[in-house]
Structure 1
Amino acid sequence: MSTRERPSRAQLLRLLAGQRRLLGDVPRLEPYQVAFLQDTATMRAVLKSRQLGFSWLFALEAVISVCTRPKSRAIFVSLNREEAQEKVLYAREIVEALPEKWRPQISHASRLALEFADGSRITSHPCTAPRGRSAADVYLDELAFYRDDLGVYRGALPVISRGGRLVLASTPFGQRGVFWSQCRASMQTGKLHVVPWWRCSWLCVDPGRAAQAAEELDTPARVARFGTDRLKEIYEAMDLEGFQQEYECAFVDAQASWIPYEEIMPCVVEQMPIAATAAGLGQVDGELFAGFDVGRRRNASELVVLERAGGRFTVRMADTLRQAEYRAQKQCLEELMSVRGGVVRRLCIDATGLGANLAEDLARAFPMRVEPVLLTAGVKESLAVALRIAFQNRDLLIPADREFIAQVHAVRRVVTAAGHARFDADDEGASHADKFWALALALHAGLKPRPQVTARRL
């Protein structure tokens, strides 16, 4: 329709408080969500836990602006294309759930944009600096993970110079970058939205009581006392440091990591085609090499497949096999090695402990193409050094995936009392670096000449 009643912001917020259809799976707005929507500051910084619904909240605020302000503009910047599309989908669902008298007419829709009859626009970009001559509200979501975080941040400032507002939001990603520095500055003024897991009702059994008591407890006690079953499962599946960074808003010191963020981030590609299954690798033109780390802790194994082209390696598949039995793991790797008559040139597989039988069986099935690798301390050091050199030389490209980046960063180099180097994740009880070793094995499979670090069981 060409004309409609334009509601006030207060009317829309009251509607949100009472209409379940607008909120989707969320029974009501959380207090931290209301606080964000009521914050009228030109620049807002949000230090947040994972899985708190901020992508949906940003879409909601953008739709509120479309409903209340003619020719409003909102620009979302996300870590990757999938998350960029998700925000536009949320926005469209919210628009369609509005009462007809207030519903703005969509004149054009795509996966990355919504245009409205009154000239308003919502656009979404995967990790690129926003551009535009007119005023806009700009949302930089997961800013800490951007490869060029400073460039994106600087690009956003001219957009809001003519009006509009800027949101900087992220989970922490080490003591580095624009987001960390802006959070430190906002903490000084008391204008930072800090939202750990215990402020969220689907992660915390009693957010009201936790708001008073949670910060006085250490992480294990907090999780035991206030965590939902879902939160406890997440905690059990992660190392302590990773959980504190991902869910408790802790900026973890990155100095001890073997491969620092400064070497990882230049190798991150925002729009990288990743095969969902082995069959999808049949479309890749270059030579393929794979690494498989057999899970010992938490019953998870990791598979990484690299394409080699012009001396550079690019991740083309990354798959996690959780609680997979021997037969399922073997079938997965047999399918991989059979794709397009053998497009995967070599698979290096962890042959230590639980992986020994799997490695031997696959080596017999695919002679000269499957290489069992015993992950001794010396072998781990050789693999870790080769992997770091590849990152330093920017010869290895990885996807813009938080979990993948975090696991590459999780490995530390520790010198033992005997003077030997040991490479492993920080928390021995909950290793969270299996992707690191799968990636290192895949790289080893594709390097020419390959270092002689393997040993086969006879």
Structure 2
Amino acid sequence: MATYPDEIKDAAARLYLQRYTPAEIAKKLNLNSVRVIYTWVKKGNWGSLLTEESVEDCITRRINVLVKRDNKTSLELDEIDRLIEHHVKLLVQRSKHAEKMAAIGHGAGGNGGAPGGVGFMAAGEDEKPAKLGKRVKNDVSLMPAEKFAEFAENSLFEYQKICRANLHLAIRNILKSRQVGMTWYFAFEALENACLTGDNQIFVSASKRQSEIFRRYIVKFAQELFGVTLTGTPIVLSNGASLIFLSTNKNTAQGETGHLYCDEYFWVPKFQLFKDVAGAMATHDKFRRTYFSTPSAKTHDAYPFWTGKEWAGKDKKRLAEKFPDFDEMRDGGRMCPDGQWRYVITLADACAGGLSKYVTFQRIKDEHSPDAFNLLYMCVFIDSGDSVFRFDMLVRCEVDPATWQDFKASDRRPFGEREVWGGFDPARTGDTSTFVVVAPPTLEGERFRVLETYRWNGMNFKYQADQIIKIMAKYRMTYVGVDVTGIGRGVFERLQIAAPREVRDIHYSTETKNNLVMKMIDTVEADRIEWDAENKSIAASFLAIRRTSTASGNALTFVAERSAETGHADEFFAISHAVIHEPLNFDTQRKSTWFFERAA
């Protein structure tokens, strides 16, 4: 792997703060890959050093960068022309606006008038106020309460209506299945409340991408229901309400106040710190807090918040209070002794409440191992006390794939000519086969990246092999590790005919399994792997790997139940089949403290 001196990193940081793109920095400094720039940005937290800029500032800075370049390309010259043209338009618009406001102020006797552009003109000028009224930005007068109520009655599922009926409560805490439309619903709820009350609505999510989903839903509701185009970030409505979209970076949360929505909070690192900072935004009695998430592990520091143990602490009186059980919270939700209203929405509940029009419960169940299905869809926490992998380490592996500038999933060659590895874990009776595409690190500071995950259920080995061959054709795939257990043998033999040099068979034994798990322990503990934060089933599969003893009791080994009843950690093993292509001692130094010894 290439190693860069501090002088290069410092130069890259200076260019980044001048708003050069990572691709431009790599080109300017003659670096081998743009990927290393993203690694430095993340590790050095360079993004926090950037300051807010107006549109005019951005245009001016970009023009200054471009005009200093020698031997400009035609695209760069065209960009300069367009930026200058846009800058001039902004200046002209600003000048006209200043003249108009001065004239309006004079006509109104210097008293200003009502905000929003309505009511400025003198009496008798009937047409002009109406004309100005049409130009009100993000106009809530076009979004009446009756229309919201009509949409809610006709379009919401029963479990969403239950949340709506409890909007008035100070704290709502909702444990939910994935893909049951709760982000969509809360976006609608918040838009309605902002339009009708003028209160701010703040959305805090586990990732920036997730917070932007809120914004897209809100913009779509306004456009499709009312014909109103909402603009701005944050979105500021004409009644003064702000719709603010934040990720869990605590630095972005300072100073905001409003009704709070915390999305996927069981996947937020350092939840207590996050809760303290986010909760402060809804301190005033008028503001409510809504927490909703799929579960993760019982070891997550949000778990006592969900169970009420955080509230009870060591107080004997509080510890004696009876909280509703799981099934009671599924039955329409319950108010709890700590003042929180808790509600559980499993996929079964959602399907019974109307979602079955769009989702087949049995299909989802068949496509996932029981551990992953129970976690992601049935609101069952993973008991990770004996898991090999700590939850906080796995959360550290979750990223937004938008940072993978060299990977475009929709392209004919998604990763260009960069090398990738593949891993295949075959189905046993009643579970799912999984194939992953993994990009190995090639430069200092890079991590393994799980680019794509494919899952097949109920398909024969010929079909699965043919699908893998199609996937291989899209990449420069130099290695594929195949577990030859069961139908894996048929898949392997078919792949070997198509790609004899790339495909390798993996024969399971205690030693083989230990090597696979140890390699992944080293990789995770050394912070050398990442995957899409939205793919929660990967973390679930890692958490399913547990310590145990061999049948003789003389040695430590690892296990994930691999039966028809319990499924197996398919994503974990598929990823390990790819990553094992890198030697255990790739840098001559082990990362983990795990070792094996015989019992005395």
- SS at 2:380 equivalent: coil
- Which of 487, 508, 511 is the aligned partner of 1:378? 511
- SS at 1:329 equivalent: helix
The Cα of 1:303 is off from its aligned counterpart by 2.1
- Which of 367, 392, 398 is the aligned partner of 1:268? 398
1:440 aligns with 2:576: yes
1:124 aligns with 2:254: no
- Partners of 2:464 and 2:440 in 1: how far apart? 22
Change (3 A) 1:293 1:277: farther
- SS at 2:173 equivalent: strand
What per-residue deviation string (whole Å, max 9, x for no partner) do you get for residues 102-134 of structure 1? x8x54515xx75443444332434544442534
1:312 aligns with 2:447: yes
The Cα of 1:233 is off from its aligned counterpart by 4.1
Give the alignment of 1:298-309 within 5 angstroms: 298-309=431-442
Equivalent residue, structure 2, for 1:219: none
What per-residue deviation string (whole Å, max 9, x for no partner) do you get for residues 356-377 of structure 1? 1322333343343221111223
The Cα of 1:402 is off from its aligned counterpart by 1.1
Given that residues 197 and 203 in structure 1 are in contact (C-alpha distance below 8 angstroms), is that contact kept between their aligned partners in structure 2?
no
- Partners of 1:169 and 1:175 in 2: how far apart? 16
Change (3 A) 1:154 1:290: farther
Task: Please tell me the residue identity of whatever aligns with 2:213.
Answer: E
1:396 aligns with 2:529: yes
Give the alignment of 1:327-346 within 5 angstroms: 327-339=462-474, 343-346=476-479
1:366 aligns with 2:499: yes
The Cα of 1:78 is off from its aligned counterpart by 2.8
- SS at 2:352 equivalent: coil
- SS at 2:257 equivalent: coil
- Which of 128, 150, 160 is the aligned partner of 1:15? 150
Task: Calculate percent identity across the aligned residue pairs.
Answer: 20
Structure 1 stretch displaced more, 165-174 or 317-326: 317-326
The Cα of 1:143 is off from its aligned counterpart by 0.7
Give the length in aligned residue pairs.
Answer: 413
Given that residues 411 and 426 in structure 1 are in contact (C-alpha distance below 8 angstroms), is that contact kept between their aligned partners in structure 2?
no
- Partners of 2:423 and 2:394 in 1: how far apart? 19
- Partners of 1:167 and 1:229 in 2: how far apart? 26
Give the alignment of 1:5-84 within 5 angstroms: 5=141, 14-18=149-153, 20=154, 23=155, 26=156, 30-39=160-169, 41=170, 43-70=171-198, 72-80=199-207, 82-84=209-211
Change (3 A) 1:126 1:331: farther
The Cα of 1:312 is off from its aligned counterpart by 3.0
Change (3 A) 1:4 1:288: closer
- SS at 1:414 equivalent: strand
- SS at 1:308 equivalent: coil
- Partners of 2:273 and 2:413 in 1: how far apart? 34
- SS at 2:427 equivalent: coil
Given that residues 370 and 567 in structure 2 are in contact (C-alpha distance below 8 angstroms), is that contact kept between their aligned partners in structure 1?
no
Change (3 A) 1:6 1:361: closer
- Partners of 1:4 and 1:201 in 2: how far apart? 32
Q: Which has the larger radius of gyration?
A: 2
Tell me which stretches of 4 or more aligned residues in structure 1 moved more than 6 Å: 6-9
Equivalent residue, structure 1, for 2:129: none
- Which of 441, 456, 463 is the aligned partner of 1:321? 456
Change (3 A) 1:433 1:268: same
- Which of 384, 391, 405 is the aligned partner of 1:254? 384
Change (3 A) 1:139 1:371: same
The Cα of 1:13 is off from its aligned counterpart by 6.7
Equivalent residue, structure 1, for 2:480: 347
Equivalent residue, structure 2, for 1:408: 542
- Partners of 1:284 and 1:147 in 2: how far apart? 35
Change (3 A) 1:335 1:151: farther
- Partners of 1:124 and 1:284 in 2: how far apart? 37
Change (3 A) 1:124 1:443: same
- SS at 2:183 equivalent: helix
- SS at 2:253 equivalent: coil
Give the alignment of 1:147-226 within 5 angstroms: 147-161=269-283, 164-185=287-308, 188-189=337-338, 191-197=340-346, 200=349, 202-203=351-352
Given that residues 205 and 248 in structure 2 are in contact (C-alpha distance below 8 angstroms), is that contact kept between their aligned partners in structure 1?
yes
Change (3 A) 1:199 1:317: closer
TM-score (norm 2): 0.60
Change (3 A) 1:233 1:448: closer
Change (3 A) 1:409 1:338: same
The Cα of 1:444 is off from its aligned counterpart by 0.6
- SS at 1:108 equivalent: coil
Equivalent residue, structure 2, for 1:455: none
Given that residues 351 and 359 in structure 1 are in contact (C-alpha distance below 8 angstroms), is that contact kept between their aligned partners in structure 2?
yes
1:425 aligns with 2:561: yes
Task: Please tell me the residue identity of whatever aligns with 1:49.
Answer: S
- SS at 1:251 equivalent: coil
What per-residue deviation string (whole Å, max 9, x for no partner) do you get for residues 213-239 of structure 1? xxxxxxxxxxxxx9x993344445555
Unaligned runs of 5+ in 1: 208-225, 451-458
- Partners of 1:242 and 1:202 in 2: how far apart? 18
- Partners of 1:194 and 1:169 in 2: how far apart? 9
- Partners of 1:38 and 1:178 in 2: how far apart? 27
- Partners of 1:88 and 1:394 in 2: how far apart? 32
The Cα of 1:437 is off from its aligned counterpart by 0.5
- Structure number with greater CO (CA < 8 Å, separation at least 6) is 1
Change (3 A) 1:303 1:68: same
Equivalent residue, structure 1, for 2:121: none
- Partners of 1:75 and 1:359 in 2: how far apart? 51
Given that residues 560 and 568 in structure 2 are in contact (C-alpha distance below 8 angstroms), is that contact kept between their aligned partners in structure 1?
no
Change (3 A) 1:27 1:362: closer
- Partners of 1:409 and 1:159 in 2: how far apart? 34
Please identify which structure carries the higher strand content.
Answer: 1
TM-score (norm 1): 0.77
- SS at 1:363 equivalent: helix
The Cα of 1:198 is off from its aligned counterpart by 7.7
